[in-house]
């Protein structure tokens, strides 16, 4: 890591011979056994004792300048933690263990099931607040932060950035608060500030033999080779479980959850809630149990009761954040109601929602994107018209109304011209899914070619080779040099929804080259979604309310907030891909 404006003071250098920081899996296990034995007070297994004898130290091979962070956890809860610095890494570990054990009661000692350890190295001085900002979010969880005040060091380890969901600016504020020093109003720093790298390990003490995991940004990097059909089936099951675990008895589904706090956000978004309704209904079809069906139906009724209204002219409205009525919310609610396994009871509100969508359509092909407020009728063009056109394409495939087809094609042509003049990736998946539905019925080459044009362009923002320095981000869709917004799980998920539809068109059209190009992009995108899913105890090491988090999809690798559409778009894509792909299509 080369921090902007940084330097390495000679006293902080670690000798060039640093095998501690080049651990393979076997050596990491030895370090874990060493740590576990120290923490347990010397009660070692024969194998652990042999691995930690003096003169045989591949576990802690004499690295100098040991600076160690250690935390003891029980089912995610951090019971105690400490920093310790010594002449060698081994001495630093022993000192950190003593410090942590001294903070724990006998009862707490018996509860500890995980040790989180960071071996700090390569401290680099930052010059000014701008140098801290230049680190960028991409290094959150990969480097730690230190503030020195009156001869005392205050630090955050890399794993703490993940556990507390911290950005660098907020971390500096907290360190300054702990040090009792004010942050300068200017771009200066409140004292000497350094960033540092660290070797991070998680040592699981829950079994008879400690199990050690080397962490990268608080987790393990998912290799693309792991993305097999059984693996994706497990991901889909986990994400479906998350939806059902978070669905409340009255049908409410939390919009945003913060794992680090164990709290829900008070925010909501009805458009995304109706998207979640659609995927819940997909889970019903996949699992087919009456209990699941009843819970999903409760969610439908909950959303209708709280957001659906009709005006005096019979227009169906989905109210969001007060009195806003968005074209996209109308379309997604209509899709959910008409995709319900028993749509009869919802036929009337579905018809009223369609009536409103039709009223927002203009004869030249454009949609007004808001029913109200009227001053926003030109907003969110990259999203809402595509969602409405998907609804119309689904309706046309069912009814084959020639007037609907004429309107649908007029709008697709209008927005094709619009998009070519101001391309944006958010536009692509919704129009792809709409065109794919239409092409399945008409086989018009115009819509096949437009699908290919859109998705060929979209692949230019998928990151792969350029991200090898940050392997946990590989496969996501993000263009850091273009104004399309930050990386986001929901973006990668919805782009995969569109890409699997484009892949199906390429297959049916006999375009083998594009089929292979899209297939490879889909598998790489699946790797990214797998990385973002809370799958196991390693991903959940810092989470206390695990039943609310397991199977959730975090927003990015460095932001663990779970938004409902992170899971919804990811799971919709997974289910579509599992329906379309053969086992061999999951190859890297």
Of 87-91, 111-115, 199-203, 582-586, least confident by mean pLDDT is: 87-91
- pLDDT on residue 198: 94
- pLDDT on residue 65: 56
* Percent of the chain predicted with pLDDT > 90: 86
- pLDDT on residue 116: 98
pLDDT digits (tens, 9 = 90+) for 462-488: 999 989 999 999 999 999 989 899 999
- pLDDT on residue 529: 98
> Tokens for 507?
């297959």
Is pLDDT of 13 > 70? no
CB-CB contact of 5 with 127 (8 Å): yes
Is pLDDT of 54 > 60? no
Find the mean pLDDT for residues 402-416: 98
In angstroms, the Cα distances linking 356 to 25, 134, 390, 428, 472 are 60, 48, 15, 24, 43
Provide the pLDDT confidence category of residue 19 given band limits of 50, 70 and 90: low
pLDDT digits (tens, 9 = 90+) for 517-562: 999 999 999 999 999 999 999 999 999 999 999 999 999 999 999 9
Q: What is the helix (H) or strand (E) element at residue 194, kind and residue range?
A: strand 193-204
Is pLDDT of 66 > 90? no
CB-CB contact of 462 with 477 (8 Å): yes
Reduced 3-state DSSP string for 307-349: HEEECCCCCEEEEECCCEEEHHHHHHHHHHHHHCCCCHHHHHH
Q: What is the mean pLDDT of the chain?
A: 92
- pLDDT on residue 512: 98
- pLDDT on residue 547: 96
Find the mean pLDDT for residues 357-370: 98
Is pLDDT of 193 > 70? yes
Instruction: Provide the whole-model pTM.
Output: 0.92
Find the mean pLDDT for residues 354-376: 97
Is pLDDT of 90 > 50? yes
pLDDT digits (tens, 9 = 90+) for 113-163: 999 999 999 999 999 999 999 999 999 999 999 999 999 999 999 999 999
Find the mean pLDDT for residues 321-347: 96
- pLDDT on residue 447: 98
SS3 for 244? helix
Of 36-40, 408-412, 415-419, 433-437, least confident by mean pLDDT is: 36-40
Is pLDDT of 10 > 60? no
pLDDT digits (tens, 9 = 90+) for 570-587: 999 999 999 999 999 999
- pLDDT on residue 28: 87
Q: In whole angstroms, give the CA distance from residue 59 to residue 51.
A: 7
- pLDDT on residue 56: 35
Among residues 335, 331, 235, 351, the alpha carbon closest in space to that of 281 is found at 335
User: CA angle 167-172-178, nearest 5°?
Assistant: 125
Find the mean pLDDT for residues 240-256: 96
CB-CB contact of 127 with 119 (8 Å): no
Q: In whole angstroms, give the CA distance from residue 292 to residue 258.
A: 25
pLDDT digits (tens, 9 = 90+) for 223-238: 999 999 999 999 999 9
Provide the pLDDT confidence category of residue 328 given band limits of 50, 70 and 90: very high
Is the Cα torsion angle 310, 314, 318, 322 positive or negative in sign? Answer: negative
- pLDDT on residue 183: 93
């Amino acid at each position: 890591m080369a921090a902007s404006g940084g330097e390495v003071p000679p006293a902080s250098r670690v000798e060039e011979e640093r095998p501690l920081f080049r651990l393979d899996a076997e050596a990491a296990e030895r370090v874990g056994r060493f740590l576990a034995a120290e923490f347990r007070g010397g009660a070692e297994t024969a194998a652990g004792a042999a691995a930690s004898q003096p003169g045989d130290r591949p576990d802690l091979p004499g690295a100098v300048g040991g600076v160690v962070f250690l935390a003891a956890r029980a089912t995610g809860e951090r019971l105690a933690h400490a920093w310790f610095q010594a002449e060698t890494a081994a001495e630093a570990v022993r000192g950190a263990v003593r410090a942590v054990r001294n903070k724990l009661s006998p009862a707490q000692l018996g509860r500890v099931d995980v040790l989180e350890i960071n071996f700090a190295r390569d401290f680099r001085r930052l010059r000014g607040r701008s140098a801290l900002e230049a680190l960028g979010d991409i290094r959150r969880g990969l480097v730690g932060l230190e503030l020195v005040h009156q001869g005392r060091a205050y630090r955050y380890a890399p794993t703490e950035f993940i556990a507390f969901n911290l950005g660098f600016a907020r971390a500096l504020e907290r360190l300054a608060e702990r040090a009792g020093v004010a942050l300068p109003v200017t771009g200066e720093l409140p004292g000497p500030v350094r960033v540092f790298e660290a070797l991070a390990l998680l040592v699981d003490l829950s079994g008879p033999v400690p199990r050690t995991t080397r962490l990268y940004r608080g987790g393990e990097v998912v290799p693309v080779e792991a993305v097999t059909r059984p693996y994706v089936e497990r991901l889909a099951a986990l994400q479906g479980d998350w939806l059902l675990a978070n669905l409340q008895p009255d049908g409410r589904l939390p919009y945003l959850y913060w794992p680090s706090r164990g709290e829900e956000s008070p925010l909501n978004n009805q458009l995304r809630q109706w998207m979640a309704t659609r995927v819940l209904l997909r889970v019903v079809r996949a699992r087919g149990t009456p209990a699941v069906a009843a819970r999903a139906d409760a969610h439908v009724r909950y959303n209708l009761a709280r957001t659906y209204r009709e005006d005096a002219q019979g227009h169906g409205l989905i109210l969001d954040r007060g009195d806003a009525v968005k074209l996209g919310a109308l379309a997604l609610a209509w899709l959910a109601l008409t995709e319900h396994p028993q749509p009869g009871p919802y036929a009337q509100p579905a018809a009223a929602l369609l009536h409103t969508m039709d009223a927002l359509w203009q004869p030249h092909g454009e949609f007004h994107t808001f029913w109200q407020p009227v001053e926003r009728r030109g907003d969110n063009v990259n999203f809402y018209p595509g969602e409405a056109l998907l609804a119309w394409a689904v309706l046309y495939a069912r009814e084959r109304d020639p007037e609907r087809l004429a309107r649908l094609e007029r709008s697709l042509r209008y927005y094709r011209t619009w998009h070519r003049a101001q391309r944006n990736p958010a536009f692509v998946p919704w129009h792809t899914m709409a065109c794919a539905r239409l092409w399945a019925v008409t086989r018009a080459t115009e819509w096949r070619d437009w699908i290919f044009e859109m998705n060929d362009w979209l692949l230019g923002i998928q990151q792969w080779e350029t991200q090898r320095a940050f392997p946990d981000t590989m496969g996501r869709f993000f263009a850091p040099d273009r104004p399309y917004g930050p990386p986001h799980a929901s973006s990668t998920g919805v782009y995969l929804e569109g890409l699997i539809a484009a892949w199906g068109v390429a297959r049916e059209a006999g375009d083998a080259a594009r089929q292979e190009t899209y297939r490879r992009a889909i598998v790489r995108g699946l790797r990214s979604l797998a990385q973002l899913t809370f799958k196991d105890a390693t991903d959940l090491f810092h989470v206390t309310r695990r039943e609310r988090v397991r199977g959730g999809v975090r927003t990015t690798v460095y932001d663990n907030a779970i938004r409902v559409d992170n899971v919804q778009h990811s799971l919709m894509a997974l289910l579509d891909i599992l329906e379309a792909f053969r086992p061999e299509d999951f190859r890297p």
